[in-house]
Each structure stands twice: as C-alpha cells, then as structure tokens.
Chain A
Amino acid sequence: MLSRCIGLAVAIAAAVSVATCASAQEAERKGIPAPPGHVFKTIISGYQFRSKETRALQDDDLENPGFLAVERAADAWKKVEGSEGKSCMTCHGEAETSMKGVGAAMPKWDDKLKKPVNLEQRINICRSEHMKAEPWKFKSRELTDMTTFVRYQSHGMPVAVKTDGPMSPWFERGKQTYYTRYGQLDLACASCHERNNGKFMRADFLSQGQTNGFPTYRLRDQRLVPLHERFEGCMFDVRAEPFKPLSDEFLALELYVAWRGIGLPVETPSVRN
C-alpha cells in the first residue's frame, strides 16, 4: 500500500513538473506585434515553440545542417549551365548583395505571367528563360538548395510580402483556403495553428504556422523541406487529397500565410522537428 502511495506521489510530482515546464516555455516565447487586421495580437516564430536543444542547433551556423545546402548552392550559383553559357552569377553577380531581401518578399507579382510566383518558380523561370537550362524539379535537392541559399541572403530581415493591388484577389483566395476544412478529419489550417497553437500535438508544440524559416531542416526527414511540401504534408495528415506543389491554390495560401507572419525575421535555414 505504502509503495503504491509513493508511486502515485511521484506520478503527481512528474505531472506538475511537466506542466510548469510547458508554461515556463510559454512565458518566454517572444513575438512581435501583428499587422492590422490580424487575428493574433502577437505573432510568434515557430522557433519559439521548439526545444532549447533544437533552437541551439539552429543558432549555431556550424551545427545547423541546413548550411550544408547553403554551401552547396553557393557553388551551384557560379556554375554555368544551359545553352546560353550563363550561371546565376552572370546576371546577378554576388548573391550576398543582389539577393539581399529578395527571399523575404516572396511570393511576388509577375507581370508577364499575370500571377504571383514564389522563389522556387522564380529560380526555374531564370533557368528556363535566361539560362536555357532544364528547370529543376520541385523537391529536388538542387532546387531546395538554391531556394535556401537565396532566402538565406535575407537572413534576419523581416518578412515583407505585398498583398495589395493585383495580389489582393490571391490574398483573399489564400485566406479562404486557410479557413476551409479539408479531408476526413475535417480540419482547416486555422483549426490547429490559429485555435490550438501552443498546445501539444503528440510530442510537439503546435506553432502558429509561420513561413519565415522555410525551407526548413526537418530533423524527422533529415533534409531541408520546402514550404509547399509541408503544406502537402499537413493536408495529407488531415487525410485530404493535397493540392499539387506550386499550384495556384498553394501559391495563394503561401501568400496569405506569409502575410500572417509579416515582420518576423527570415530564419532560413531553420531547424524544426
């Protein structure tokens, strides 16, 4: 009897320590004031929802495995490909100066295509139109590396997407997608990331679902994951038929979700569970 009581006491103590631990992390989460019209008062990067160890991994440029991609793409930036005999460097020069702030403002309106394009598409447009090279496949290591590299040049700069003008119908469409329930589980983006963020989902905290860290190094996959692949994963998890990566639906959603994190620093390459 006595041993059972002790066992129970230990269990209660453990439960209390887990609770204090969770709230302690909640208290130290830092955010920034949200833009007008936002549902949240403060917007918080996914970084703040991760464990101390994961955050340390992201903060150290050497330990962060995402930087392997940055280094690979820095070489690819100078590599001549396609029939025009050009590399990224031929037109853009040093990425450190020419690409500064570019990744933070994506997706951006493209006058020629009459629609917004994101960073992956922009890189492939450059490849097929200016370099006359084969565009890279979505999810390919080359494309994700280059996206990470270009976005890394905006590291620490605030996310600054434009949602006015021709972008506004896309913004509205993205917003609608965000609040639409999909799949057998009948969940919308908002069901988890708006109503339940900060709570546990399985063994991990649900974040506000920000895009400032993408492409992000996922410890689970042991590689960098581009944003649209994560969108696909979320839709798959609620047992829906996912939209295709780089489709108009995901582009609109990307624009809207980027706006939800407007002002957060770009963290690419970030580290997430």
Chain B
Amino acid sequence: MAEKPRLKLPKEAAKGEIIQIKTLVSHVMESGQRKDAQGKPIPRKIINKFTCEFNGKPVFSCTLEPAISANPYIQFDARIDEAGTFKFAWTDDDGSVITAEEKISLKA
C-alpha cells in the first residue's frame, strides 16, 4: 500500500538560495506499545529512517522513533547551488522503501 508522498518545494531557485522543503507521507506509525481488543500486542510498524539526497549527495536524514504520530510530516531547509534532482526515501520497518523525486532548476 505504498502511496504517493506529498512534497512541496519550489520548482526553481536562485543560486545560493535557501529553500524550504516540506514532506508528508501516509503511514500508520504503529508504535508496538498498543494492544488490540484481544489483548495481544499490535506489532510495531513505523518508518524508521528518512533520507533526502540532492544529485547523489546527502542533504538531510533522520531516524524516526515509535512515539511519532501517523502520517509523519518532515520539514527542512536546503541551499541550492546547482540545478538537479532531490530524491526522498522513507524506509519502513518491513524493509520496504517509499521513494519520491522532485526536480529543481536554477533561475536564469
């Protein structure tokens, strides 16, 4: 049930400009601490890692912990020195990875 994550960043930026990147991904983020109606623990299922790369170079990454609520929203800034492609990856506990890409060009 991989869904398209939501991304918001400008299509183009001036050289050296600092842009804001907003990401939101749909995920249950089950903490593993809860029990179901029968009293059995619900297995943990969270996104444990988020990474962002620009032209192959790492820009931002973080590990996520069980207390984070569903549909995690991550926002960060990046400085743009050249045109290129942002690659985003959310790694699930079960090993599956949700990926997304977004291109950005330099203002003429």
Where the two chains meet, the residues of A that have a C-beta atom closer than 8 Å to any C-beta of B are 62-63, 65, 67-68, 71-72, 219, 222-223
Whether, in the assembled complex, B61 has its beta carbon less than 8 Å from a beta carbon of chain A, the answer is: no
**Which of B48-56, B69-77, B98-106 touches A?**
B69-77
**Cβ contact within 8 Å between B26 and A63:** no
Closest to B5 in A: A68
Question: Which residues of B have CB within 8 Å of A68?
Answer: 3, 6, 24, 26, 71
**Cβ contact within 8 Å between B71 and A62:** no
Please, could you name 8 A-B residue pairs with CB atoms under 8 Å apart, sorted by A?
A: A62-B6, A62-B8, A62-B24, A65-B70, A68-B24, A71-B4, A71-B6, A223-B70
**Cβ contact within 8 Å between B73 and A63:** yes
Question: Which residues of A have CB within 8 Å of B24?
Answer: 62-63, 65, 68
Question: Which residues of A have CB within 8 Å of B15?
Answer: none
Whether, in the assembled complex, B22 has its beta carbon less than 8 Å from a beta carbon of chain A, the answer is: yes
- Interface pairs A-B: 8 shortest CB-CB: A222-B70, A65-B71, A62-B8, A68-B26, A62-B22, A63-B73, A62-B6, A62-B24
**Cβ contact within 8 Å between B22 and A72:** no
**Cβ contact within 8 Å between B6 and A67:** yes
Closest to A219 in B: B69
Interface SS, B side: loop
Question: Which residues of A have CB within 8 Å of B4?
Answer: 71
Q: Interface code B1-20, partner A: CB below 8 Å = 1, 0 otherwise?
A: 00110101000000000000
Closest to B70 in A: A222
**Cβ contact within 8 Å between A63 and B70:** no
Assembled-state Cα–Cα distance A250/B70 (Å): 30
Question: Which residues of B have CB within 8 Å of A65?
Answer: 24, 70-71, 73
Assembled-state Cα–Cα distance A223/B70 (Å): 9
Closest to B6 in A: A62
Closest to A222 in B: B70
Instruction: Give the distance to chain B from A170, nearest Cβ to Cβ, in Å.
Output: 36
Question: Which residues of B have CB within 8 Å of A62?
Answer: 6, 8, 22, 24
Assembled-state Cα–Cα distance A71/B24 (Å): 12
Closest to B29 in A: A222
Choose one: B3, B69, B73; the contact of A72 (CB below 8 Å): B3
Closest to A69 in B: B26
Instruction: Give the distance to chain B from A55, nearest Cβ to Cβ, in Å.
Output: 16
Closest to B22 in A: A62
Choose one: B3, B6, B71, B73; the contact of A222 (CB below 8 Å): B71
Question: Which residues of A have CB within 8 Å of B26?
Answer: 68
Instruction: Give the distance to chain A from B27, nearest Cβ to Cβ, in Å.
Output: 10
Assembled-state Cα–Cα distance A175/B22 (Å): 44
Assembled-state Cα–Cα distance A219/B70 (Å): 9
Q: A63-B24, A68-B6 are in contact. List 15 more A-B contacts (CB 8 A).
A: A62-B6, A62-B8, A65-B24, A65-B70, A65-B71, A65-B73, A68-B3, A68-B24, A68-B26, A72-B3, A219-B69, A222-B69, A222-B70, A222-B71, A223-B70
Most buried by B among A65, A71, A219, A222: A65
Question: Which residues of B have CB within 8 Å of A63?
Answer: 22, 24, 73
Instruction: Give the distance to chain B from A141, nearest Cβ to Cβ, in Å.
Output: 11
Question: Which residues of A have CB within 8 Å of B70?
Answer: 65, 222-223
Instruction: Give the distance to chain B from A217, nearest Cβ to Cβ, in Å.
Output: 9
Closest to B75 in A: A63
Question: Which residues of B have CB within 8 Å of A223?
Answer: 70
